Structure 1
Amino acid sequence: MGIIRQIGPHWFTTVMGIGIVAALTFTSPIAIPFQHVIGTLLFFLLNVVFAAAMGSWILRWMFHTRESLNDFRHPSSALFYGAFAMGINVVGNDYLLIGTQIFHAAPALLVSKVLWVAGTVASIFTVVVVPYLLFAEHEVEPQQTLATWLIPVVPPIVAAATGMNLIPFWQGHAVQFAMLALLLAMFGVTFFLFMMVSGLVYSRLVYHKRLSGEAAPSLWVEIGPIGMSMAVFGSLSTKTTSIFAPYTHLLHALGLIFDMALWGVGVWWIVISSMHTILHVTKRGDGLPFHMGWWSYVFPIGSFTNGTYALAHLTSYPVFFVAGLVQLLMLWGCFVVVFARTAHGIYKGDLLQWRVHRRRRGMAAVH
């Protein structure tokens, strides 16, 4: 049970990362060798990691309730309930995109819907409770502002982007319209909060000491909601034809304008984030010590790649298909490094102190 105590909601960042790499590899608009095989293998790995993370999280609440409640009292730990919510939605989306292709479609679709509902409930809980705690209970200073503050407010837009894929699979015009209304409302919540938090992050970067090497990966979180916003608007003209049939061309044009504008913002954030990362591996920097925050190099890049995929399908221009492939390769480079470092950290006992507990049990047995 000592290991279980250490499994907080931040471990769901691994679920998010594996899940989005699996989906983007499987659905790459430019055919790549073995993309379906690799995507399927990652999908099975995702199920194992998700089951382990969810099981450990439940056991932690059962046997270490005080530590679990303390997550909400700590400004940094509370943020990662956003990862918990997003992880559920990512797994549900993978069941739609991959699971329906390798299993019987109906059960896989049902799993996708159930997980989407669960992830949406968790997303709404997170976007209300965590900011409220930040407003009313937590004490923070302006220089502590990081892009990780986006983690609890991003889940509704992830639920919106994954929910758009499910709209055609709900029966009845009224149900589909209700779904769309909910998805657009959740998009609005996150996008509005994204703008405000980004303003705080920009202000912190301007007026306070530069980000440390330990905090540098957090900047990449900024491109996550940008990519998911692109996915939402990129899907409007294709997923809502039964609702907005007379306005399909208008929605297509709106999606194009919105997505291309956001794509430019996303590229800017990638450049700025890359410059911060490079700075800290030079003599002028602090180095980049490894921690679980390195998963910020994975899901946000995957999210923006997902948005580029949507833009490629909207425009049919080769430049965006190529850009999507380049971003996928960049994503894979980050994923391999972060996954390997995480596995090594677990094995060495740096991320989970299982070796210490094992030695203690052995010493207790001797005595």
Structure 2
Amino acid sequence: MARSRIVPVPPNWFAVVMGTSIVATGAHALPVRLPGLDAVAWAFWALAGLALVVAVLATAAHLRADRGALRSYLDDPAVAPFYGAPAMGLLAYGAATLLVARPLLGHAAVAVDAVLWLAGTALGLATAIGVPVLAFTRHRIGVDAASGAWLMPVVPPMVSAATGALLLPYLDGAAAQTMALACYAMFGASALAAIVLITQIWSRLAHHQRGAAAAVPTLWIVLGPLGQSVTAVGLLADHAGPALGVSDQTLRIFALLYGVPVMGFALLWLAIAGAITAMTAREGLPFSLAFWAFTFPVGTMVTGASSLAAHTGAVALDALAVALFALLLAGWGVAATGTVRDLRARRMGVLSVPQEPANA
């Protein structure tokens, strides 16, 4: 009889939590209330909770059984960036709980979100600092290695900025001021880091083309910091004014002046990534967990467009948010279907994953 073996559960499995949570949040945020939208939000919130529990338990079991796994993953330049995924998974589910489940859970939803925000923010800041330090001191990286995956460790502070803004109405005094300042600081840190990395990704594509087919879906990760930054400034404009002693109107002007151009670039990148993905799919696009990049990054564009629509009342932005939400649902369907088929093909009732650099 073959011996039982440890099934690897690298951090990119938390992308399932991220991608499912953002559907619930996006459904809640849409400026147009469509029939069945609330049911969609509730269903995806429940699915995300199940995915989070499974991912946490499976990860804990794996790390307990294989004490060297964490170090091995951190030493691998293809896997280490994805330690941003657990942080964003916690943050994304916390926000979904606050927005969707508060009618059911009451103040407990606020408490759950606060705990997940603190844990996700601490982990996210650790990855935003630690993974680049490893890349700059220990990892050996090729000149053509830049990919959307490089954004994973630096995006969590942006997610903290957006989700932290949702907690501001439950704080007051110095606590609210500190939270608002921290959110804007994390917004700036993540946005500037993302700009540096996106230029490297563009340069790599121009000089070395798209690379391996399995890595193509990671191009969609670029949408994450773009859409999330628009969401962050929009939510901070809604909630940070009293804490900072700044008028809501001033913060909303900044949100619009920043958000509209960035959303424009995000749409440009969406068209580029979509075209490259379609070309690659015709030639053969193998499944990997990178398919979950079709979800959370697009979801941040949904919440960003919804925020802009709420601040402007523009019908065009309402339509954009709905169209992006339809794309999000399609992306989630593709990623979820591929994941289920892959697990069935492996004939396993537990999580497993190929150790590919393209995983997301």
Q: Which residue of 2 aligns with 1:133?
A: 134
Amino acid at match of 1:299: F
Task: Specify whether residues 3 and 119 from structure 1 end up closer, same or farther in structure 2 by C-alpha distance, changes over 3 A only.
Answer: farther
Structure 1 residues 240-279: aligned runs within 5 Å: 240-244=240-244, 246-279=246-279
Kept in 1: contact 2:291–2:334 (CA 8 A): no
Q: What is the distance in 2 between the residues matched to 1:4 and 1:102? A: 39
Q: Which residue of 1 aligns with 2:344?
A: 347
Q: Structure 1: which 5+ residue stretches go unaligned?
A: 356-367
Please give the residue correspondences for 1:92-107 in structure 2 after superposition, counting only pairs within 5 Å: 92-103=94-105, 105-107=106-108
Offset at residue 291 of structure 1 (A): 0.5
Measure, in 2, the Cα distance between the counterparts of 1:192 and 1:246. Answer: 24
1:65 equivalent in structure 2: 67
Please tell me the residue identity of whatever aligns with 1:129: G
Change in Cα spacing, 1:115 to 1:353, as seen in structure 2 (3 Å) is closer
Distance across 2 between alignment mates of 1:144 and 1:350: 33
1:312 corresponds to? 309
| Alpha carbons 2:177, 2:244 under 8 Å: kept | no
Calculate the TM-score normalised by the size of structure 2: 0.93
Residue 53 of structure 1 corresponds to: 55
SS at match of 2:57: helix
Shift of 1:245: 5.0
Q: Where in structure 2 are there 5+ consecutive unaligned residues?
A: 353-360
| Greater relative CO (CA pairs within 8 A, separation 6+) | 2
In the alignment, the residues of structure 2 paired with residue 3 and residue 76 of structure 1 have an alpha-carbon distance, to the nearest angstrom, of 23
CA deviation after TM superposition for structure 1 residue 244, in Å: 4.1
Alpha carbons of 1:351 and 1:342: their partners in 2 closer, same or farther (altered >3 Å)? farther
1:38 aligned residue (37, 40, 60): 40
Given candidates 77, 80, 90, the residue that maps to 1:78 is: 80
Q: CA offset at residue 240 of structure 1? A: 1.8
User: Which string of whole-angstrom CA distances, capped at 9 and with x for unpartnered residues, describes residues 118-169 of structure 1?
Assistant: 0000011100111110110000111111111000110110111111111111
Report the counterpart of residue 323 of structure 2 in structure 1: 326
1:301 offset after TM fit, Å?
A: 0.5
* Secondary structure in structure 1 of the residue aligned to 2:243: coil
How many residues align? The count is 350
Whole-angstrom CA distance in 2 between matches of 1:93 and 1:270: 25
Q: Distance in 2 between matches of 1:280 and 1:49?
A: 29
* 1:7 aligned onto 2:4: no
SS across alignment from 1:294:
helix
- After the TM superposition, which segments of 4 or more aligned residues of structure 1 sit over 4 Å from their partners? 1-4, 350-355
The corresponding residue for 2:355 is none
Q: How many Å separate the matches in 2 of 1:164 and 1:147?
A: 26
CA distance in 1, matches of 2:351, 2:258: 48
Aligned to 1:195: 195
Identical-pair percentage: 27
For 1:332, what is the secondary structure of its paired residue? helix
> Superposition RMSD on alpha carbons, in Å?
1.8
Q: 1:246 to 1:90 in 2, by over 3 A?
A: closer
TM-score by length of 1: 0.91
2:19 alignment partner, one of 17, 20, 26: 17
Shift in Å, 1:351: 8.5
Aligned 8 A contact 2:83 2:153 in 1: yes
The structure having more radius of gyration, on CA atoms, is: 1
Aligned to 1:290, which of 287, 290, 295?
A: 287
**For the Cα contact (< 8 Å) 1:173–1:242, is it kept in 2?**
no
Amino acid at match of 1:136: T
Could you tell me how far apart the structure 2 residues matched to 1:23 and 1:139 are? 38
